Amino acid sequence: MKNLVWVFFVIFSFSSNLFPGDINREGTAGNSALAFPSGYGIRNLNGLGNSGLINSTSNLGFLNPASISFLQNLSIGLTYQVNTPTYYPEPFEEISLPRVYNFIPQSFGAVYHYQDFSFGLSLSQEFNSGLNFGEIPKTTLQYPEGTGTTFTPILEHTINKYSLSVAYRFNDILSDNNNLSIGLRYNFNQLHSYEKILTVFVNEFNYASGFVLGLVYSLNENQNKIGIHLKSGCSFHISNVENNNLDIDTIGNAYAIQAQMSEWIEKTPYELCFEGLFQLDDDLQVSAFLSNIFWGEIDRTILTNQFDISSSLIYNFNKVFSGSAGILISNCSVEEYYDNEFNAFYLMAGLKINIESFSIDFSLADSHLISGELRKQFITKLGLGIQL
């Protein structure tokens, strides 16, 4: 039977706000709510794979900023994404991490070129995850089998990112038809944390800045490209007054009995990414994407490092239809317990349809075949774009 003992154990371990500990998040809280790779998903996922070198304007906020030089001028686009939830391993297998606020677009982007300069505006969901316990029977010392009533803890965390990108392209570098693009993106990140257990709740908005610096070198009139970009982590300095001690009476009602000022820091990690796009023949391309995510720089997480590698084959059937198929392997190192529960193996597929100035982008990814419980999910993504 579900009961307050193990529910409180998980909440104490993974709540960001209800039980914060000290400024370094040491004490009651044990793991950052932002340290779940499933909440970040596959951010570059699109109908043509998982590469930032062949993508669409709708994913602008996740791409190598130098790659906006190769997107269509005066183009805009948006995407919607739906995920199945991931689940904890035993003995907490009934606890899930679902995506929340599905009515909000996953990303939006707009690009404008002026001579060799390119400018981009984007809005995107950097992180999206909740913690779902379902309905929990209230139990007390007087009624250990339950009081006949239930409650539902709520823990939801999202990072919405507002970005400005600029890139400059140097033409005919080293030889004719070879170009070098340098790009910079500024990210203004909004962390929204909503957590509630019984009568105690926190509804907080906090903000932090970050940047992405990237290079893309293209050869043979953009048929082949290689790129690298570095994404900074960000630190949310949080300060609020919260009620964080519970008193539970004999019939299962909870009361906050102490209010205190709490200060702490939530962080997201640095990322270093390498990319390649190569033309195999007139209608066939292959993309490669490698990234290293430095979780070890974050104080409160059991993750130490995450290395992702993905590749896709892209085929142009004609001027209207293009498709892709690929894989993504994600290997996460952990300090203790959970073993391989954060590792993932995704199968990816996508289709892109171009009709004059309009484009429709559909992609999916599934990791149920060979993955840890905390990474098993099915992702679907729909993108729409237009060139003005």
Cα dihedral 150/245/202/242 (nearest 10): 160
Structure tokens at 220: 């043979």
CA distance linking residue 165 with residue 218, whole number of Å: 19
C-alpha closest to that of 384 among 47, 43, 111: 47
Q: Which of 123-132, 150-159, 323-332, 334-343 has the lowest mean pLDDT?
A: 334-343
* pLDDT band for position 179 (cuts 50, 70, 90): very high
Query: What pLDDT does residue 9 have?
Result: 47
Alpha helices, H only, the chain: 4-14
Peptide bond into 91 cis (omega under 30): yes
Query: Which phi and psi (to 5°) does residue 107 adopt?
Result: -160, 160
Query: What pLDDT does residue 65 have?
Result: 96
CA distance linking residue 256 with residue 242, whole number of Å: 9
Cα distances from 256 to residues 11, 25, 28, 83, 195, in angstroms, run 16, 21, 16, 35, 14
| pLDDT tens sequence across 230-268 | 999 999 987 765 555 555 454 445 444 444 556 778 889
Structure tokens at 349: 């597929």
Name all domains of the chain by residue range, CATH numbers in brackets. Answer: 4-387 (2.40.160.60)
Other CB atoms closer than 10 Å to residue 213's CB: what's the count? 16
* pLDDT band for position 198 (cuts 50, 70, 90): confident
The enclosing H or E element of 79 equals: strand 75-83
Mean pLDDT on 273-295: 95
Q: In whole numbers, what is the pLDDT of the chain averaged over residues?
A: 85
pLDDT at residue 7 tops 60 = no
Q: Which of 92-106, 148-162, 333-347 has the lowest mean pLDDT?
A: 333-347
Query: What pLDDT does residue 24 have?
Result: 46
More confident residue, 90 or 249: 90
CA distance linking residue 230 with residue 173, whole number of Å: 22
* pLDDT band for position 215 (cuts 50, 70, 90): very high
Cα distances from 370 to residues 291, 299, 341, 367, 375, in angstroms, run 20, 29, 11, 7, 10
Q: Using an 8 Å Cβ cutoff, are 158 and 192 in contact?
A: yes
C-alpha closest to that of 212 among 233, 188, 185, 190: 185
Token look-up 């903000």 returns 207
| pLDDT tens sequence across 74-84 | 999 999 999 99
CA distance linking residue 8 with residue 14, whole number of Å: 10
* Contacts made by residues 203-210, CB under 8 angstroms, sequence distance 24+: 204/17, 204/238, 204/240, 206/236, 206/237, 206/238, 206/266, 207/236, 208/234, 208/235, 208/236, 208/237, 209/234, 210/186, 210/234, 210/268
Q: Using an 8 Å Cβ cutoff, are 347 and 336 in contact?
A: no
Mean pLDDT on 205-209: 94
CA distance linking residue 189 with residue 242, whole number of Å: 23
Residues 6+ apart with CB under 8 A from 373: 86, 87, 88, 89, 93, 341
Task: Give Rg (Cα) of the chain.
Answer: 23
CA distance linking residue 268 with residue 21, whole number of Å: 19
CA distance linking residue 156 with residue 133, whole number of Å: 12
Looking at residue 267, its amino acid is K
Q: Using an 8 Å Cβ cutoff, are 44 and 63 in contact?
A: yes
